[in-house]
Amino acid sequence: MDLPHHALPAASLTALTEAAAVINSTLDLDSVLQTIARLACQVARAEASNVFLVDTRRDKLVIAAAIGHRRDVLVGHEFDANLGIAGQVVSAGQPINLIDVRANSRFCKEIDDISSLQTRSLIAAPMVHRSNVLGVIEVVNRLDESVFTDNDLKILQLFASFAATATRNARTHEDLRRRYQGLRDSVMKRPAIIGDSPLLKKVLELGERVAPSNATVLILGETGTGKELCARHIHNTSRRRNETFVAINCAALPETLLESELFGHEKGSFTGAHAQRRGWFELASRGTLFLDEIGDLSRSTQAKLLRVLQEKELVRVGGTKAIPCSARTIAATNRNLKNMMADGIFREDLYYRLSVFPIQMPALRDRREDIDRLVEHFMDRAVREFRIPELKVAPETMDILTRYDWPGNVRELQNVIERSVLMSDGATLLPSHLPPDIAVCVKGIEPAADTSTLPGQERSLILKALEQNGWNQSQAARALGITRYHLRHRMKKYGIQKPANSRLAAGV
């Protein structure tokens, strides 16, 4: 492009200087492109201008910035990358000056219809970086109704060059930020999977075996067994380790919001959708999306999820266009999906799509040999977090902890240790620092005459408390020093039911 600086009008030089200053001051692409669109329109003394970016993954042109009537409606609008004058500039990689736009066979009225503008003439220049066309800048209609000159087009090419630089810088920054976040998550949130038990080793081996592939994984197990830690272990040992890991609890969000979170939504698709939003499947592109509590999805959301898994593409809420999806999916549940399939609650086709590679997380009671290491781990972390002197676990305390059944698994153990550390008042964690229900159910149980096993002792003690309190569960729980929730859990565990005649309680 042969346009020496001394040939540029003072207004053009000022505008170019301002554009360069904005590029050097921020990595906010939207702000930079909007400034460039404004300055290009100003220098060319035109009615409107648009900046289009090429979305190569979807083969789309997206309006990233606009100046003129109804710019708020235009920004975010997208169409096929080969459509219209902008599509012609992308394909040819060359600028264009059209004196009579409507005489051009490539002219598309779609933008005019949206903006309520009647395009007469325009100039357009490609945003080129290293031979790749990143987008197009268009300037439409001179205000004095004259035609655009070759100098106007050459100046627009300078703006297009600035826009290409800004786009390249912003995308490079975003890519580096995402990779840094992935690395940071890998280091700072590295799964603390503690233990050497055979069952846990098998889980880790299965995770490492499936990690190099893109296979969908279904992690099964009770609440608190560490299903998310297993998912992170798979992600961190895969080729996606430097990309984003996103964890979504499907049970924590209402159905309408969950669909928007997962798949994104288009502007105006529902009340409150003031702008287009990308969902977690798009944001986790090239990374891993962990869907916890998958059994809580509604049937309609199950159908949409199935399409994403099968077709590797999604449609935003309120949208019609398919968007490619490259995120790896790992799902987890503590529910029996096979029973839910039999009851018609969970889709059979989705179940088989999810369970390409199932992994069963063991309950903590099935790997008691890991409890001592877990206790030490949570103790050390709690001591550091609460900034209290170092603690040791008394042998009798560890004995109670290793014998307790842990219905809430590792998560319950962690909570108990944190509470007990706060309750401690010396250098040793004693049984008295543990929650009363744990001490009662393990250490404080008086042996029953008819049994020598710990479960038998616990069952006998619960029966005795219920009988003495007329089968009032709240009173019995207070007598045992446990919560009503824990009492009901143990009654269910031991099959204890109130007899028709309370005097028959001993025979329950």
**pLDDT at 502 (0 to 100):** 46
pLDDT one-digit tens code per residue, 129-166: 888 899 999 999 999 989 999 888 988 998 898 889 88
Residue 225, pLDDT > 90, answer yes
Closest to 327 measured CA to CA, from 191, 182, 204, 221: 182
Domain limits at 373?
Answer: 365-434
| Segment 345-355 mean pLDDT | 95
Q: Let me know whether 303 and 417 are in one domain.
A: no
**pLDDT at 436 (0 to 100):** 80
CATH of the domain at 314: 3.40.50.300
Q: Is residue 449 part of a domain?
A: no
| Segment 493-500 mean pLDDT | 74
Q: Is residue 406 part of a domain?
A: yes
Lowest mean pLDDT among 22-26, 285-289, 336-340, 357-361: 22-26
All residues at 6 or more sequence positions from 279 whose CB lies less than 8 Å from its CB, including other chains: 260, 261, 262, 263, 264, 265, 314, 316
Residue 468, pLDDT > 50, answer yes
pLDDT one-digit tens code per residue, 61-115: 999 999 987 777 788 888 888 888 999 999 999 999 999 988 888 888 887 888 7
Domains: count for the chain: 4
Q: Let me know whether 254 and 397 are in one domain.
A: no
Q: Is residue 377 part of a domain?
A: yes
Q: What is the pTM of this model?
A: 0.57
Q: Is residue 440 part of a domain?
A: no
Q: Let me know whether 224 and 294 are in one domain.
A: yes
What single letter denotes the amino acid at residue 9?
P
Q: Is residue 190 part of a domain?
A: no
| Segment 245-268 mean pLDDT | 86
Question: What phi, psi does 414 have (nearest 5°)?
Answer: -60, -45
Q: Is residue 399 part of a domain?
A: yes
Residue 302, pLDDT > 50, answer yes
Q: Let me know whether 67 and 112 are in one domain.
A: yes
| Segment 360-373 mean pLDDT | 95
Q: Let me know whether 166 and 51 are in one domain.
A: yes
Q: Is residue 94 part of a domain?
A: yes
**Tokens, residue 1:** 């492009």
Q: Quick one: CA dihedral 464, 466, 469, 471, positive or negative?
A: negative
All residues at 6 or more sequence positions from 78 whose CB lies less than 8 Å from its CB, including other chains: 55, 60, 61, 62, 63, 321
What single letter denotes the amino acid at residue 229?
L
pLDDT one-digit tens code per residue, 3-52: 554 466 777 778 778 777 777 777 778 888 888 888 888 888 899 999 99
Q: What is the mean pLDDT of the chain?
A: 85
**Tokens, residue 414:** 């962690």
Confidence tier at 503 by pLDDT (50, 70, 90): very low
Residue 371, pLDDT > 60, answer yes
